[in-house]
Chain A
Amino acid sequence: MHYETNKKIHMLLQLNNIFKWVQSGGQRVFLLKDINLSVEEGEFISIMGPSGSGKSTLLNVIGMLDGFNEGEYNFMDEPVHTLKEKHRANLYKQYIGFVFQAYHLIDELTVKENLEMPLLYNKTSSSERKALVADSLDRFNIVGKKDLFPSQLSGGQQQLVGIARALITSPKLILADEPTGNLNSKQGEEIMELFKQLNNDGVTIIQVTHSEKNAAYGSRIINLLDGRRI
């Protein structure tokens, strides 16, 4: 991951007047209300807010896993709201990595195979896959665990693998939904340190969190309440 040191500002993504709602008993219940957000490359943003305020929904919209009803979304100058499903998948496959609260490793695959999976979907060649996986195992210091299955790892270790997997395709953006939510405080701290370090290397990070302490790692905090920025 090599980024130019003379911090030339690049816009990564931009949300303009995003609305998202569901129909309930003939009434619209707003999940996101008029969200405007610009994210530049290299930022570390924390999204905060009480339960049900739309944090995760916003993250999913940014990650293109979920759609929205109104507004515009540009990701690296591509208008996401007009893109076809397949094109959109290509976009996030290439530029976005996800880290989940519950790690979401595939139980039937070993650590090594879990890391390899995004590369398979990326159609990376076999030799390059091997090299990238080896690098990644090395970098996160989990070489010794490469043949274990997720159930044989502690929560912290699983999340480490989860992050390694998110990073293996060298994405520009990491989306993390309460990445420390299932971890004890020591493990949580380690993961946050790792994020900090990744951010210093130039990776843009957006995380959802409940914890002020974790939010403090970021460069900017976005507060949500009832689907609206405050």
Chain B
Amino acid sequence: MFKNYLKIAWRNLRKNKGYSIINIGGLALGMAVALIIGFWMYDELTRDSYFKNKDKIAQVYQSQAFNGRIDTGPAIPLPLEPALRDGYADNFKHIMMASWTQDSYIKYKENSISRPGNYMQPVAPELLNLEILKGEKDGLREINSIMISKSTADALFGKEDPIGKILKISNQYDLNVTAVYQDIPFNNTFNSTDYIIPWDNYVANREWIKNSLDHWDNNSFQMFVQLAENADMESVSETIRNVKKDLNEDTAEFNPQLFLLPMEDWYLRNNFEDGKQVGGRIKYVWLFGIIGAFVLLLACINFMNLSTARSEKRAKEVGVRKSIGSQKGQLIYQFLSESFLVVLFAFVVAIAIVLLSLDGFNELASKEITFPWGIGMFWLISVGFIIFTALLAGSYPALYLSSFKPVDVLKGTFKTGKYASLPRKILVVIQFTVSVAFIIGTVIVMQQINYAKNRPIGYDRNGLIQIPTWSADFQGKTDIMREQFIKSGAVTAMATSSSPTTRVWSNRSGFTWEGKPDGFQEDFAWTEVSPEYASTLNLKVVQGRDFSRDMASDSLGILINRTAVKYMGLENPVGTVIRDSDKENLTPSMKILGVVEDIISQSPYEPVKQAWYVYDRNNNFSYYNLRLNPGQSAKQNLAIVERVFKENFPAIPFEYDFVDDEYAAKFAAEQRIGTLSGIFTALAILISCLGLFGLTSFVAEQRTKEIGVRKVLGATIFNVWNMLSKDFLKLITISCFIAIPIAYYVMNGWLQEYPYRVILKWWIFALAVFGAMGVTVLTVSFQAIKAAKANPVKSLRTE
């Protein structure tokens, strides 16, 4: 029996090729989208699954209030470590201090590479369950040891055995390789940690860290913990909440609150607002999940619509089968097996589409998703997915078709009633509601990105490059390098800075100035720069003057940005003296020399933060900023810069970034969402149009006789086209009325997250409406005109 059903289904598919292609193609497309989004969601949701103790690992976070604004972040002070180890040891299996992940030059003999890594306490290999390939697991005991990832070992040593070899870090100190560990896979935190050096080494080699050991106010470090077996994340988090506040009076005014952020939240739920966790990427995971479900729904709707539209053709078969003795249940079963066959087909096609597009998708989404061929769970879910889709798409046609009464159908007088097409119309309305909403959403996302991109950033980022200088070799050579670069003709100006132009690495407080309000809790973005900074960046000095090398006193000068003037409440900023509020007499006071334009160095969606650019008198720099000669091509300039660089630092790899690329990277996340939602919107529209196309052709076929009669009575092609298109346009209009408020509500909510945001304009909605209408008219017209042009004699003769 089942064979008989499949045979009929197969022959039906072959007989109506156009219908089959639309049906299977549309469904396959929908499934491919759902599959890819499913893979992506799975990838997002299973991040950090490399770590065996994922549910027990957490990072210590801190919230502090500055002038009523609560900032939350992972930076904590050093005295917290002994405090937790002494008073709260029962709660933790491991406590691990760690530095931020930073790039360092690693040198073995003549081979030098730059890799990111961390300083961590010796428990790291166990906490991160590193897989040791060579050497000892307990390899961080000695202060001069280093563990490296396999990829780093391969790059440095090739076939040589790395264990026991001496590496030079940042051309400063020698470390002994004690272990090689398997690289942590892509989809995990610490994936970029290519080396681990003992924490004690970090402390021992840096004066400022040694000085911070008893300073609760220097929040510059990270702390990871693994809970004790029986400890509960939430209650431990609650236990340590006031540790800092209770132990240190000086910082109590900022109301420091400590808590644990569990590993499963690191990636997906790490946004905080007013000290409260407000989600994060998880929002996009669900958003795309919803998009995937909708696209699949659209494809299923096509299937339902086309199946029921074809019902008149199948009606006779239903009648015959019933009169021969088929029961309703058997017919339902038959039509469901047909739907199952189609879905199975579509699934195979969908897999092909996924395989073809996975690489491109990975690139767009910056993922490393592979097709899960060998994973039983995937196939299990797929079978479920196929059955679910077959039921979803096939149930309505099955119930509808199987309910025909044989007497009506076989008498030949059968016509689907006036209301038979109502469900079909509702489904079309749903399809276009989704499509129109998608269009609006995508346009708004794109607009927001462009809006932020076009925001004035305060300096000229084109032709500006930055070269990292994280090695002792660079000390004392700044002036020589500037001279040589400029002499080479490739560079017109050079300045050093302690953070990259597109970021703020340091924030400071603890200053006082005349007129500072009582109780004002100041907080400034802090960058130490060489005197040429403003001129190299083409950063405009709007008040006062720039640094000058000719004035010795300028070494105690600072420039502040426009926002800082307002923030500090200064009427005449130039000349204002700034003192260190703690040790008033120990450090020399500084003087404001000038005010510069605000530059966007943090989020392009946020207001610019109050910033100080401080004369770098301690050689505290991390970057060379070079203004390339605009008279030559960038390629020429770079070749010359590299040559000059290599002449002076032969042992250090030449690395650079274009500042405009770095700036563009700030938009990566939004850009990705924009691109992906653009693609999915296009697919959604395509699928909806496929369905509409199929539907129109059936409607035209159904009304062939009517069209023939009308033409005989004098209707023009335009009349017929108008008649056929009007019905569909009505449906699209209804869709627009439903879609616009929904899209407005959702997108308005999305935009609220960005303080610097585009204003929603009516024309976006009009654009979406006209877009949907245009596409509909095009789709419908193709069939409508064909039907209208047909010779009426032919259609009337068949009666």
Are A122 and B407 in touch, CB under 8 angstroms? no
| A117/B15 contact (C-beta < 8 A), A56-B411, A65-B407, A86-B327 known | no
Q: Which residues of A contact B317 (CB under 8 A)?
A: 106-108
Are A120 and B4 in touch, CB under 8 angstroms? yes
Are B325 and A113 in touch, CB under 8 angstroms? no
Are A98 and B326 in touch, CB under 8 angstroms? no
Q: Which residues of B contact A93 (CB under 8 A)?
A: 324-325
Quick check: is A102 within 8 A (CB to CB) of the other chain? yes
Bound together, the chains give a CA A116 to CA B406 distance in angstroms of: 20
Are A89 and B320 in touch, CB under 8 angstroms? no
Are B320 and A104 in touch, CB under 8 angstroms? yes
Quick check: is A109 within 8 A (CB to CB) of the other chain? yes
Bound together, the chains give a CA A86 to CA B330 distance in angstroms of: 12
Q: What string of 1s and 0s marks CB contacts (under 8 Å) between A41-79 and chain B?
A: 000000000000000100010010110000000000000
Are A66 and B325 in touch, CB under 8 angstroms? no
Are B7 and A109 in touch, CB under 8 angstroms? yes
| A66/B407 contact (C-beta < 8 A), A118-B324, A122-B325 known | yes
Q: Which residue of B lies closest to A89 (CB)?
A: B327
Are A65 and B323 in touch, CB under 8 angstroms? yes
Q: Which residues of B contact A60 (CB under 8 A)?
A: 407
Instruction: Select one of A63, A65, A92, A117 contacting B4, CB under 8 A.
Output: A117
- B407-424 contacts to A, CB under 8 A, are 407, 410-412
Quick check: is B321 within 8 A (CB to CB) of the other chain? yes
Are B407 and A121 in touch, CB under 8 angstroms? no
Q: How large is the interface on B (under 10, 10 to 19, 20 to 34, 35 or more residues)?
A: 20 to 34
Q: What string of 1s and 0s marks CB contacts (under 8 Å) between A193-204 and chain B?
A: 000000000000
Q: Which of B11, B323, B327 has the most CB of A within 10 A?
A: B323
Chain B proximity of A178: nearest CB distance (Å): 11
Quick check: is A217 within 8 A (CB to CB) of the other chain? no
Are A121 and B326 in touch, CB under 8 angstroms? yes
Bound together, the chains give a CA A92 to CA B322 distance in angstroms of: 11
Q: Which residue of B lies closest to A121 (CB)?
A: B325
| A89/B325 contact (C-beta < 8 A), A106-B8, A121-B330 known | yes
- A143-197 contacts to B, CB under 8 A, are 165
- B77-125 contacts to A, CB under 8 A, are none
Quick check: is A21 within 8 A (CB to CB) of the other chain? no
Are B8 and A109 in touch, CB under 8 angstroms? yes
Quick check: is B557 within 8 A (CB to CB) of the other chain? no
Q: Which residues of B contact A65 (CB under 8 A)?
A: 322-323, 405-407
Bound together, the chains give a CA A15 to CA B758 distance in angstroms of: 80
Chain A proximity of B51: nearest CB distance (Å): 57
Q: Which residue of A lies closest to B319 (CB)?
A: A104
Quick check: is A100 within 8 A (CB to CB) of the other chain? yes
Are B407 and A117 in touch, CB under 8 angstroms? no
Bound together, the chains give a CA A113 to CA B411 distance in angstroms of: 23
Q: Which residue of A lies closest to B330 (CB)?
A: A121
Q: How large is the interface on A (under 10, 10 to 19, 20 to 34, 35 or more residues)?
A: 20 to 34
Quick check: is B277 within 8 A (CB to CB) of the other chain? no
Quick check: is B172 within 8 A (CB to CB) of the other chain? no
Q: Which residue of A lies closest to B328 (CB)?
A: A85
- A109-147 contacts to B, CB under 8 A, are 109, 113, 116-118, 120-122
Chain A proximity of B16: nearest CB distance (Å): 10
Bound together, the chains give a CA A107 to CA B1 distance in angstroms of: 17
Q: Which residues of A contact B8 (CB under 8 A)?
A: 106, 108-109
Bound together, the chains give a CA A92 to CA B412 distance in angstroms of: 22
- B1-50 contacts to A, CB under 8 A, are 1, 4, 7-8, 11-12, 15
| A100/B410 contact (C-beta < 8 A), A89-B327, A106-B320, A118-B324 known | yes
Quick check: is B281 within 8 A (CB to CB) of the other chain? no
Q: Which of B1, B316, B321, B407 has the most CB of A within 10 A?
A: B407
- B270-328 contacts to A, CB under 8 A, are 316-317, 319-327
Q: Which residues of B contact A106 (CB under 8 A)?
A: 8, 317, 320-321
Are A117 and B410 in touch, CB under 8 angstroms? no
Q: Which residues of A contact B322 (CB under 8 A)?
A: 65
Are B316 and A104 in touch, CB under 8 angstroms? yes
Chain B proximity of A112: nearest CB distance (Å): 12
Q: Which residue of B lies closest to A162 (CB)?
A: B320
Bound together, the chains give a CA A165 to CA B410 distance in angstroms of: 16
Are A104 and B410 in touch, CB under 8 angstroms? yes
Are A113 and B412 in touch, CB under 8 angstroms? no
Q: Which residues of A contact B7 (CB under 8 A)?
A: 108-109, 113
Q: Which residue of A lies closest to B4 (CB)?
A: A120
Bound together, the chains give a CA A60 to CA B409 distance in angstroms of: 13
Instruction: Select one of A98, A109, A122 contacting B323, CB under 8 A.
Output: A98
Q: Which residues of B contact A113 (CB under 8 A)?
A: 4, 7
Q: Which residue of B lies closest to A103 (CB)?
A: B320
Bound together, the chains give a CA A66 to CA B4 distance in angstroms of: 27
Q: Which residues of A contact B320 (CB under 8 A)?
A: 104-106
Bound together, the chains give a CA A60 to CA B410 distance in angstroms of: 11
Q: Which residue of B lies closest to A122 (CB)?
A: B325
Q: Which residues of A contact B15 (CB under 8 A)?
A: 108
Q: Which residues of A contact B324 (CB under 8 A)?
A: 93, 98, 117-118, 121, 165
| A118/B11 contact (C-beta < 8 A), A66-B407, A104-B316, A104-B410 known | no
Are A102 and B407 in touch, CB under 8 angstroms? no
Bound together, the chains give a CA A117 to CA B4 distance in angstroms of: 8
Bound together, the chains give a CA A92 to CA B411 distance in angstroms of: 19
Bound together, the chains give a CA A186 to CA B1 distance in angstroms of: 37
Are B12 and A108 in touch, CB under 8 angstroms? yes
Chain A proximity of B786: nearest CB distance (Å): 24
Bound together, the chains give a CA A66 to CA B323 distance in angstroms of: 11
Q: Which residue of B lies closest to A123 (CB)?
A: B1
Chain A proximity of B20: nearest CB distance (Å): 13
Are B11 and A108 in touch, CB under 8 angstroms? yes
Are B321 and A117 in touch, CB under 8 angstroms? yes
Bound together, the chains give a CA A66 to CA B319 distance in angstroms of: 12
Bound together, the chains give a CA A120 to CA B324 distance in angstroms of: 10
Q: Which residue of B lies closest to A106 (CB)?
A: B317
Chain B proximity of A156: nearest CB distance (Å): 19
Bound together, the chains give a CA A90 to CA B324 distance in angstroms of: 10
Q: Which of A65, A90, A93 has the most CB of B within 10 A?
A: A65
Chain B proximity of A177: nearest CB distance (Å): 8
Bound together, the chains give a CA A106 to CA B7 distance in angstroms of: 12
Q: Which of B7, B411, B412 has the most CB of A within 10 A?
A: B411
Q: Which residue of B lies closest to A56 (CB)?
A: B411
Q: Which residues of B contact A122 (CB under 8 A)?
A: 325
Q: What string of 1s and 0s marks CB contacts (under 8 Å) between A85-97 and chain B?
A: 0100110110000
Bound together, the chains give a CA A86 to CA B4 distance in angstroms of: 22
Are B1 and A120 in touch, CB under 8 angstroms? yes
Q: Which residue of A lies closest to B9 (CB)?
A: A108
Q: Which residues of B contact A98 (CB under 8 A)?
A: 323-324
Bound together, the chains give a CA A90 to CA B326 distance in angstroms of: 9
Q: Which residue of B lies closest to A93 (CB)?
A: B325
Q: What string of 1s and 0s marks CB contacts (under 8 Å) between B692-703 and chain A?
A: 000000000000
Q: Which residues of A contact B12 (CB under 8 A)?
A: 108
Q: Which residue of B lies closest to A109 (CB)?
A: B8
Are B323 and A63 in touch, CB under 8 angstroms? yes
Q: Which residue of B lies closest to A60 (CB)?
A: B407
Q: Could you jot down 30 A-B contacts, CB within 8 Å?
A: A56-B411, A63-B323, A65-B322, A65-B405, A65-B406, A86-B327, A90-B325, A92-B325, A93-B324, A93-B325, A98-B323, A98-B324, A100-B410, A102-B412, A104-B319, A104-B320, A104-B410, A105-B320, A106-B8, A106-B317, A106-B321, A108-B8, A108-B15, A109-B8, A117-B4, A117-B321, A121-B324, A121-B326, A121-B330, A122-B325
Closest 10 CB pairs of A and B: A93-B325, A108-B11, A121-B325, A118-B324, A104-B320, A66-B407, A98-B323, A65-B407, A120-B1, A108-B8
| Chain B contacts to A: CB under 8 angstroms | 1, 4, 7-8, 11-12, 15, 316-317, 319-327, 330, 405-407, 410-412
| Chain A contacts to B: CB under 8 angstroms | 56, 60, 63, 65-66, 86, 89-90, 92-93, 98, 100, 102, 104-109, 113, 116-118, 120-122, 165
Known interface pairs A109-B4, A118-B324; 8 further A-B residue pairs with C-beta atoms within 8 A, sorted by A's residue number: A89-B327, A93-B324, A98-B324, A104-B320, A105-B320, A106-B321, A113-B7, A121-B326
